Amino acid sequence: MAKLSVEVVTGERVVFQEDDVDMVVVPGADGTLGILPRHAPLISLLSLGEMRVIKGGQEQSLAVFGGFVEVAHNRVRVLADTAERAEEIDLARAEEARKRAEARLGRAQADVDLIRAEAALRRSIIRLKVGRRSRGRQPVGPQQELGNL
Amino acid sequence: MPTPREIRRRIRSVRNTAQITRAMEMVAASKMRRAQQHVLATRPYAERIRAMIGDLAAMADTEEQARYPLLARRPIQRSQIILITSDRGLAGAFNTNVIRRAIQVMNERPESLENIDIVTIGRKGRDFLTRYGRPLVASFTDVGDYPSLESIRPVVRIATDDFVAGKVDAVYVVYTRFINTLRQVPEVLQVLPIEAPPGTDEVTDYIFEPSPEAVLQALLPRFVEVQLYQALLESIASEHSARMVAMRNATDNARELVSELTLTYNKARQAQITREVTEIAAGAAALG
């Protein structure tokens, strides 16, 4: 059975690389995309969110913030604007950022402030979600999946 | 003839200088290695973006391409030049070379000097151009030795905003390309309008989400960004290797000077001894 090879790169560095992957889930611009081996060639924009890489029942998680995904010949290439592996995320910092963004959202006056604060809030929530997931990494079963939602 | 004591003092001072230049050489060498790795790390992203743009642009004909503001080709009446230099000196001819190249480019452009906007990255370029009374649209300093992609974004914004608003019809970056430790070449690169690379035909069967147009639209600004980022990183790698070589030469020169001075010192010392002996002998002869 064919497997996927996955690569996540940003303008600054190669963030993630893994072969023999069973499935990849990325936050596509038009909704979440699940990519299995032998997927048709695809190029999609990405929104912000969690990217999951499933290999042999083990799951790895990344936070990606915008960019592109290209799928061809069982290769998944994510060209992200920013991306972080779950274990790189500083939970305390993300939590702080979330609180700051919420506070700012409360007293935002101009539209620009509002948009900025909202974006910051979304980013911090994604970081928290991805970061927390990695701290207790267990094999993923159906119930587990639901439990994490 | 300086006295032996003067020469000794001189030797000590030259030795100190050699020690400092040697230390600077080592620092530059390690920074150069990291900067080189940094350049390499950005390549996979840049290459994929470039290839995707090439394929997507090949799908659109010239007329369609004209609808993307960043691809728009207009007769060039005003242009913008982004000059990348270093913040610090003592890097041999590094800054001189890239500044000279920029001046040459400006003089060769058909549009007159008043119609060329200048943006500088790095203190040296800024200082040079302001000394010669050239106004700058913007100048950036202190990007550091390991800049993030974030740090280039303000430069990208100025370039794309001015280009899209029609304030300038082309944007060039003058930077120093890193070839190897001994060779760095100042180069000019057209950043805007984006010259779409040739397509590979591979892409035609792809599914695009939301649409090929939306993807291309999103790719183009990233390309500008990554090109400027790479130019900056290459310049930094070049700066450090130029400094390393300059400091190595300085160290070698200092050492040579020390050996020459040591020779002079020995001669002077010997001459002094000879003179003293002659004096004593002469004195003894006079008494006897």
Q: Give the count of domains, chain B.
A: 2
CB contact under 8 A, B41 and A12: yes
> Across the interface, which of B45, B203, B214 has its CB nearest the CB of A9?
B45
**Do both B144 and B201 map to the same domain?**
yes
CB contact under 8 A, B45 and A40: no
Residue A120 in contact with partner chain B when CB distance is under 8 A = no
CB contact under 8 A, B48 and A11: no
**Do both B12 and B98 map to the same domain?**
no
**Do both B71 and B209 map to the same domain?**
yes
More confident of the two residues A92 and A24: A24
* Residue type for position B140: F
The interface residues of chain B toward chain A in range 100-129, judged by CB-CB distance below 8 A, are none
Residue A60 has pLDDT above 50, yes or no: yes
SS3 B46: helix
Please give the pLDDT value at position B162: 92
Tell me the pLDDT of chain B (288 aa) as tens digits.
678 888 999 999 999 999 999 999 999 999 999 999 988 888 888 888 888 888 887 777 666 777 788 888 888 889 999 999 999 889 888 999 999 999 999 888 888 788 889 999 999 999 999 998 888 888 899 988 888 888 899 999 999 999 999 899 999 999 999 988 889 999 999 998 888 777 776 656 788 888 888 888 888 899 899 999 999 999 999 999 999 999 999 999 999 999 999 999 999 999 989 999 999 999 988 887
Closest C-alpha among B16, B12, B162, B25 to residue B90? B25
> Across the interface, which of B149, B203, B207 has its CB nearest the CB of A11?
B149
Residue A145 has pLDDT above 80, yes or no: no
Nearest chain A residue to B230 by CA distance is A11
Q: What angle do CA A89, A15, A10 make, to 5 degrees?
A: 105
pLDDT-above-90 percentage for chain A = 29
pLDDT tens, residue by residue, A6-40: 999 998 888 999 999 999 999 988 889 999 998 98
**Do both B155 and B190 map to the same domain?**
yes
Q: Which tokens sit at B211?
A: 């649409």
**Do both B262 and B232 map to the same domain?**
no
Tell me how close the Cα of B205 comes to any Cα of chain A, in angstroms: 7
CB contact under 8 A, B148 and A41: no
CATH value at residue B265: 1.10.287
Please give the pLDDT value at position B48: 86
| Beta strand residue intervals within chain B, DSSP E | 79-84, 116-121, 138-140, 170-180, 183-192, 207-209
**Do both B175 and B208 map to the same domain?**
yes
**Do both B236 and B255 map to the same domain?**
no
* ipTM for this prediction: 0.74
CATH value at residue B29: 3.40.1380.10
**Do both B219 and B259 map to the same domain?**
no
Domain hosting residue B259, numbered range: 4-20+248-287
- How far CA B215 is from CA of A10, B6, B29, B210, B277, in Å, comes to 17, 73, 41, 7, 92
**Do both B198 and B259 map to the same domain?**
no
**Do both B11 and B139 map to the same domain?**
no
**Do both B164 and B252 map to the same domain?**
no
**Do both B30 and B71 map to the same domain?**
yes
State the residue for tokens 């980022």. B229
Contacts of A28 in chain B (CB under 8 A): 209
Closest C-alpha among B188, B41, B197 to residue B116? B188
